[in-house]
Amino acid sequence: MTIKDLAKKTGYGVATVSRVLNGQPSVSETARSVILRAAEESGFQLNSNAKQLKQQRSNAILVVVKGRANELFSELLEYVQGMADQAHYPLHVDYMEESLNEVQRAVQLCREMKPLGLLFLGGDSQNFISGFHSIDVPSVLVTNDASDLNFPNLSSVCTDNRQASRAAMDSMVALGHRNFAIVGGYKETSTTSLLRYQGCMDSLSSHNISFDEEQSYRGVLFSYENGYAAAKELVESGCKFSALFAAADVMAIGAIRALRDCGLRVPEDVSVMGFDGLPLGSYLVPQLSTVRQSVFEMARISMDMLISQITEGAPARHIFVPFTLWQRESTRAI
């Protein structure tokens, strides 16, 4: 069943059928209803390959999501989806392996889909530097700062990772903690991980707290498992600490279990603070203390900026969205 069959069946030409199916204006009401009914009856759907191949521009927004198991992105996406619906932009979501190049992927998809705009959920600066020049549609990078990259069509919206992790550490210092362990990311390869690390150091040095990185910092890929392993190793290596900061909630969760397996209770023996503010954290016992990223705000601002770039040619902007410290049950004063 193709558009041709529908044309034959209704007695109209393919052009009219196409116009109707795409909701274009200059079609008679008769034609519209006849064709829509026929399409309905036969359950006809446009072939998007042919459509996209021929189409000069679609009116969809393309979302490129880096990594499929990221709960923060899932949450972001839910809001973004709602906002796109409300603004009547079809949303096309493309999930990709975290290890692949999201900009290359976007370039390919732009050629194929010709979207109005691009939303990146997660991204790596290096990939943008080396490949974003061949993207010419309005874009927004979410959860990473792109102000240094200076692309006229690339905005960014994120939490100030450095300030946020500094604030997290400050709050634990305020609770009386002086001996810290930190489970972070690979600061050599991930900008986000580096910034969160630097924020920690900012806090420690401003309070004149010494920190032996070799002994008290572990950099791993964000996961329950790695959080567990890192925390266990910290304890077993003899590192003494009353507070542990994990640069992601998933690692904090793994870490808490590791501490428990080492005979340490949270928060009685060790306070643990995470980063992200995943919904899951509020159902844990103890509820996870964490730096809550303002997911809804990030989604809202991203979509607003993207849409104004698309419709009004607004210039690229770079925004830090406020975060919130959630002192809950996994931290305590000593």
Partner DNA sequence: TTGTAAGCGTTATCAC
Partner DNA sequence: GTGATAACGCTTACAA
Which residues contact its own copies (rule: CB under 8 A)? Answer: 43, 45, 47-50, 52-53, 68-69, 71, 74, 77, 93, 95, 104, 108, 111-112, 224-225, 228, 253-254, 256-257, 260, 266, 279-280, 282-285, 287
Distance CA 136, CA 118 (A): 10
State the nearest-atom distance from the C-beta of 311 to DNA, in Å.
Answer: 18
> Is the dihedral angle over the CA atoms 260, 263, 269, 270 positive or is it negative?
negative
State the nearest-atom distance from the C-beta of 53 to DNA, in Å.
Answer: 4
Distance CA 84, CA 134 (A): 25
State the nearest-atom distance from the C-beta of 1 to DNA, in Å.
Answer: 7
DSSP character string of 218-248:
EE--SSHHHHHHHHHHHHHTT---SEEEESS
Interacting positions 38-67 with DNA (CB under 7 A): 44, 46-47, 50-51, 53-57
> Is the Cβ of residue 22 or residue 324 nearer to DNA in the bound state?
22
> Is the Cβ of residue 21 or residue 299 nearer to DNA in the bound state?
21
Cα-Cα-Cα-Cα torsion 50, 51, 52, 58, nearest 10 degrees, comes to 180
Contact partner, 279, from its own copies, DNA, none, Cβ < 5-8 Å per class: its own copies
156 close to 140: Cβ distance less than 8 angstroms: yes
Contact partner, 254, from DNA, its own copies, none, Cβ < 5-8 Å per class: its own copies
Strands, E assignment, the chain:
61-66, 91-96, 117-121, 139-142, 154-159, 180-184, 217-219, 243-246, 271-276, 289-293, 318-321, 323-326
State the nearest-atom distance from the C-beta of 152 to DNA, in Å.
Answer: 25
Contact partner, 224, from its own copies, DNA, none, Cβ < 5-8 Å per class: its own copies
> Is the Cβ of residue 24 or residue 48 nearer to its own copies in the bound state?
48
> Is the Cβ of residue 183 or residue 316 nearer to its own copies in the bound state?
183
> Is the Cβ of residue 16 or residue 203 nearer to DNA in the bound state?
16
235 close to 183: Cβ distance less than 8 angstroms: no
Residue (of 17, 86, 84) closest to 45 by Cα position: 17
State the nearest-atom distance from the C-beta of 194 to DNA, in Å.
Answer: 38
Distance CA 40, CA 134 (A): 40
State the nearest-atom distance from the C-beta of 253 to its own copies, in Å.
Answer: 5
State the nearest-atom distance from the C-beta of 74 to its own copies, in Å.
Answer: 5
> Is the Cβ of residue 32 or residue 114 nearer to its own copies in the bound state?
114
Residue (of 308, 309, 305) closest to 318 by Cα position: 305
N residues, the chain? 334
Cis peptide before 267 (omega within 30 of 0): yes
For 174, the 3-state DSSP assignment is helix
Contact partner, 285, from DNA, its own copies, none, Cβ < 5-8 Å per class: its own copies
Asked whether position 30 contacts DNA by CB under 7 A, the answer is yes
> Is the Cβ of residue 104 or residue 163 nearer to its own copies in the bound state?
104
Residue 312 Cα distances to 59, 63, 245, 275, 316, angstroms? 15, 20, 43, 36, 12
Asked whether position 13 contacts DNA by CB under 7 A, the answer is yes
Judged by the rule CB under 7 A, the positions of this chain that interact with DNA are 2-4, 11-16, 18-19, 21-22, 25-28, 30-31, 44, 46-47, 50-51, 53-57
